[in-house]
Amino acid sequence: MSNTLPLRAVAADVCVAPQLTPAAMAEAARAGFRSVVNNRPDHEFEPDQPTSAEIEAAALAASLVYRHLPVDGGYQSPEEIAAFARMLAELPRPLLAFCRSGARSARLFDAARAL
CATH for 21: 3.90.190.10
Pairwise CA distance, residues 73 & 62, whole Å: 28
What distances in angstroms separate CA 38 from CA 21, 42, 104, one per listed residue? Answer: 11, 10, 11
Number of domains making up the chain = 1
Q: Is the pLDDT of residue 3 over 70?
A: no
What pLDDT digit, counting tens, does each position of 30-75 carry?
Answer: 999 999 999 999 999 888 899 999 999 999 999 999 999 999 999 9
Q: Is the pLDDT of residue 1 over 70?
A: no
What pLDDT digit, counting tens, does each position of 71-99 carry?
Answer: 999 999 999 999 999 999 999 999 999 99
User: Residue 44 belongs to what domain range?
Assistant: 8-71+78-100
